[in-house]
């Protein structure tokens, strides 16, 4: 057995995600029913129907991408969980324009948003991220390949790790040909080095995993207090539409729904902590308080336990500052 298959089997058995007897055939480009959803002139989202982590069922395609056609080429924001998914994305772009991909933005360091870089590497695109995301991809890239291979029973197939070659760590306005855009750092809100992309003329916000719709947010890598602060900053932009990292395109008001979700989560955990309760004793009250958010995040019950635990540790750390 190859090292790659050994790693896939070890990860799978550790996490209960694959049995020793099951190995799926690698997905092909045709396995992904992608389409370009037009949001504004020359601006498109490619939205996955999946609402969970990479799996056998979604063949690894669980995150959203976006692209903008400019006078001189295409800007792509997030490239998917595998090289094959990146190839499928490239085919979708080719149905809209024959212009080359000139720029790629990786919004953050989780592999489901950048492993598709390899499919666009031969375009000689400028690949942009924050410096911490670039470092994370350099350090953890092969681990992400193995992780998704295990989670999908091998359906994601092989992927080459292609890292960013241009970094920005402060808020910056960039002209991508005739497109005006801003890169806004979240200060590690959802995960270290997050960037969101703001298109001021279109009033569109492409948020990566700083934004979620119709899926409860993952909090394992987060700084929740900062996430709340940053969402208030994004609300002040008054976006007309948002493209989240997971979930459908939505109206700008969805930023407020997510901010309210986190404020309630923080408050109920902080109150329980100050009453001397451990996280598992806070969970029943948290479920009651957070139930009002199910209209926007219907899978809340599947995430609330882990999010209470993550928030508890952050509340505790804040108390000792």
DSSP string, 66-113: EEEE-SS-EEEE---SSHHHHHHHHHHHHHH--SPEEEEE--SSSGGG
Tell me if 69 sits within 8 A of 96, measured CB to CB: yes
Whether 69 is in a domain gets the answer yes
Please report whether residue 138 resides in a domain.
yes
Does residue 199 lie within any of the structural domains?
yes
307 occurs within a structural domain: no
pTM for this model (two decimals): 0.91
| 165 inside domain | yes
pLDDT of the residue at 23: 63
The verdict on residue 41 lying in a domain is: yes
Q: In which domain, by residue range, is 35 found?
A: 3-209
- How deeply is 2 buried, as exposed, middle or buried, from its count of CB atoms within 10 A (0-12, 13-18, 19+)? exposed
Is there a contact between 165 and 200 (Cβ–Cβ < 8 Å)?
A: no
Residue 22 is predicted with a pLDDT of 54
Q: What are 81's two structure tokens?
A: 């969980």
- For residue 227, pLDDT beyond 80: yes
Whole-number pLDDT of residue 25: 85
**Helix (H/G/I), strand (E/B), else coil: 36:** coil
Higher-scoring residue by pLDDT: 162, 16: 162
At 50, is the pLDDT very low, low, confident or very high (cuts 50, 70, 90)? Answer: very high
Instruction: Tally the domains of the chain.
Output: 1
Q: What is the CATH number of the domain that holds 176?
A: 3.60.15.10
Q: Is residue 311 part of a domain?
A: no
Q: Residue 214 in contact with residue 177, Cβ under 8 Å?
A: no
Q: What is the pLDDT of residues 168-224, one digit of tens each?
A: 999 999 999 999 999 999 999 999 999 999 999 999 999 999 999 999 999 999 999
pLDDT at 122: 76
Give a yes or no: residue 239 inside a domain: no
């Amino acid at each position: 057995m190859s090292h790659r298959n050994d790693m896939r089997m070890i990860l799978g058995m550790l996490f209960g995600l694959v049995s020793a007897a099951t190995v799926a055939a690698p997905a092909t480009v045709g396995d992904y029913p992608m389409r370009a959803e037009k949001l504004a002139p020359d601006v498109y989202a490619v939205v996955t129907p999946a609402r969970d982590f990479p799996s056998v069922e979604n063949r690894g395609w669980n995150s959203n991408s976006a692209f903008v056609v400019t006078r001189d080429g295409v800007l792509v924001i997030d490239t998917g969980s595998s090289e094959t998914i990146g190839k499928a994305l490239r085919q979708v772009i080719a149905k809209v324009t024959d212009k080359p991909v000139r720029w790629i933005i990786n919004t953050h360091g989780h592999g489901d948003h950048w492993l598709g870089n390899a499919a666009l590497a031969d375009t000689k695109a400028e690949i942009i991220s924050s410096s911490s995301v670039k470092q994370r991809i350099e350090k953890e890239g092969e681990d992400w390949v193995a992780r998704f291979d295990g989670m999908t029973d091998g359906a994601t197939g092989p992927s080459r790790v292609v890292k960013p070659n241009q970094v920005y760590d402060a808020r910056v306005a960039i002209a991508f040909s005739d497109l005006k855009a801003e890169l806004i750092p979240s200060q590690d809100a959802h995960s270290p080095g997050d960037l969101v992309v703001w298109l001021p003329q279109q009033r569109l916000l492409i948020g990566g995993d700083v934004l979620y719709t119709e899926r409860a947010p993952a909090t394992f890598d987060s700084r929740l207090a900062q996430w709340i602060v940053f969402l208030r900053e994004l609300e002040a932009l008054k976006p007309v539409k948002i493209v989240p990292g997971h979930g459908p395109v939505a109206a700008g008001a969805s930023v407020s729904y997510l901010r309210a979700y986190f404020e309630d989560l923080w408050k109920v955990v902080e109150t329980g902590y100050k009453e001397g309760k451990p996280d598992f004793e806070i969970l029943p009250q948290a479920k009651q308080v957070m139930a009002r958010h199910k209209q926007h995040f219907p899978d809340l019950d599947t995430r609330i336990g882990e999010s209470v635990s993550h928030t508890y540790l952050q509340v505790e750390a804040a108390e000792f500052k």
